[in-house]
Amino acid sequence: MKHLYTLLFFFMVSAGFAQSQPDRGEIEGFKLFPNPATAGKVQIVTANNAPKNIRIYDVLGTPVLETTLMGTELNITGLDAGVYLIQVFEKDKVATRKLIVR
């Protein structure tokens, strides 16, 4: 019986945390190109074209680039060839994509 109460406790706690996180939603009109990137630059276009915070992670989850983008062109010449995860934050929205650099 003690295990049932413990299980119910953890279920309720995890459900409470899941509900307390804000619903960010997807960035409207989000486009990332070219992907795979070969020229050391990628274009990030959105419907609002507002300033964007960019975070790029390697496959191990280590942050390799963090910057604020005012326009649409992101310089990625400092990244080695490989597969990355890119997160783009615009206002209260977020978009996450796989980025391949050749």
Closest alpha carbon to 30 in 40, 16, 43 = 43
Residue of 50, 40, 35 whose CA lies nearest to 86:
35
Distances (CA, A) of 85 to 6, 18, 21, 34, 47: 36, 23, 22, 15, 22
- The dotted CATH code for 26-101 is 2.60.40.3080
User: pLDDT by residue (tens digit) across 29-51?
Assistant: 999 999 999 999 999 999 999 99
**Is residue 4 predicted with pLDDT exceeding 70?**
no
In the numeric block, which tokens belong to residue 57? 């992670």
Write down the pTM of the prediction.
0.75
- Indicate if the pLDDT at residue 85 is higher than 70: yes
pLDDT of 100 strictly over 90: yes
Q: Tell me the domain boundaries of the chain.
A: 26-101
Could you report how far apart the first and last alpha carbons of the chain are, in Å? 57
